[in-house]
Chain A
Amino acid sequence: MKADKDKCIACKRCFPYCPMGRIQTFHRHAEIPGRVYIEIDQDKCTDCSMCVRANICPVNALYQPVEEWPREIRGILSNPLIEFKGSQVPGRGTEEMKTNDVKGTFLPGEVGVGVELGRPGLGSYFKDVEIVAMALMGANIGYQLAEENPVTHFMADKTTGKIRDDVLGEKATSAIIEGKCKLEKLPQALKALQEAADKVDTVFTVEVITKVTPDGEVPIKAVLEESGFWYSINSKNNLGLGLPSFKFYDD
């Protein structure tokens, strides 16, 4: 995001709308006497366009320039209105368990493990995304990355989780690493993430996905409790109403 210095009057009305916090600085206009304008820190801004959508600027000074690679990925991941063409889903991730009843993405015995970096309100540079991705891939648990996920597309080496060098300095409001492994490998995956948590300069949320058995048993519950990992009382639940239904069991 940028503020047009010829229009901006430094009224500060846009400041509180920025999810990244106070990332603006004041400057004196060289050609208009007495005029002060703001500049948005281009390193910290994630191009989410929230300030523009808030429609708060009285002089229409805020605008989103067309960005070239690699900066364009900031908007792709941070602006919820932009669709990543690889996943064909607006936002940062994939359909993951939302369509598991139809696609069978997560089969019995498998567990989806997702890590979302930067949310809420901190954002994440891709160098931190790389730390977490390489921790998961380096744990030797057979973690399979979701092919259609944007972060997967930005990897130079999908076997190690190494992110392209030209992307490492970019920042997103949030970026999600998505994939799956075998259920018995879940404790190792979470241990790897615990170690990565000490190395990153941001926060990340961790989510795990499972197919519930026809008897209503949640297979990951016992694994999480035995391993001592906290999980929230609220969850995301696929009701199984999608058609055609994926056949999970022979009978």
Chain B
Amino acid sequence: MTHSLHRRGDYESLKDDFVVLGCPATGVNKPGSAPKTQNFLSICYKHGPINLGDMKTGNIYNTTMDDILASVTDGTIVQCTFDNRDKIVALLTELKERRPGISVIISGVTDVVQQCMHEAGLGPIHSLEYSLGTWGKTERLPGYAVLKLLTMCGHAMIATDLVGKMVRDIKRGRRTIRSCVVEMAQCCTCGNFNLTRGEKIFQEVLSTYMVDSLY
């Protein structure tokens, strides 16, 4: 499961984009993990994520925080998305003090994550996963700016045509950028979509993206 790894963008675009996951380990600490995961979620919520959810229940743009918390069972993997480096440092500082017991993972710019860990008094990263990019028939993919939006949903549930339709709707004055990124966040069930980053990318897309024909 690599749904937060392959986000596309340059340093400026990614430096304030963090996905924090809480994951119990099957066969080790999964039995009885529900209260630990709920505790982890509550800590994360306190630090003001821009998005939060779990894959099976949905995120805070689909349902409520209470529902997400109540739906946590042993083995639930939860994710919280942050748009601010300072919040991550504060979160890690608290997680260091109140160690939740389940594994904690952060997807983000490697150097920034490592700096945040040092500032929070944590040591080096334990294990790391790099993306080596997209290979194969890449000419079939949409443009880079659209890809930056699409790859914020690691399960690829945001459709290229949806971005096209939203661009057209905004240009015709039917919708706001905010309502579009909220809808994208709803499509991305897990809660990985960073709405703050999404709004910035949408501004770029609006000025460059032409809708030739859509149905």
Chain A residues in contact with chain B, CB under 8 A? 12, 15-22, 48, 50, 53-54, 80-81, 83, 87-103, 106, 112, 114, 116-122, 148, 173-174, 176, 190, 193-194, 197, 200-216, 218, 220, 224, 229-244
Contacts of B35 in A (CB 8 A): none
Q: Are B128 and A22 in contact (CB under 8 A)?
A: no
The count of chain B contact residues (Cβ–Cβ below 8 Å) is 82
CA distance A232 to B57 in the complex (A): 31
Tell me, in angstroms, the Cα distance from A68 to B157 when the chains sit together. Answer: 23
Q: List 8 A-B contacts (CB under 8 A).
A: A16-B162, A17-B159, A98-B105, A120-B160, A206-B131, A211-B126, A212-B126, A236-B129
Q: Are A119 and B6 in contact (CB under 8 A)?
A: yes
Considering the complex, which residues of chain B in the window 175-202 have a beta carbon less than 8 Å from any beta carbon of chain A? 187, 189-190
Shortest distance between the CB of A207 and any CB in chain B (Å) = 5
CB of A3 to closest CB in B, whole Å: 15
Interface residues of B in 143-173 (CB under 8 A from A): 147, 150-151, 154-162, 164-165
Determine which residue in B10, B95, B130 has the highest number of CB atoms from chain A within 10 A of its CB, and name it: B130
Contacts of B111 in A (CB 8 A): 233
Contact of A239 among B126, B136, B156 (CB under 8 A): B126
A212-B77 contact, Cβ under 8 Å, with A201-B137, A243-B101: no
Residues of B within 8 A of A (CB): 1-7, 9-11, 14, 17, 21, 23-29, 55-56, 75, 77, 92, 95-96, 99-111, 113-114, 117, 122-138, 140-142, 147, 150-151, 154-162, 164-165, 187, 189-190, 214-215
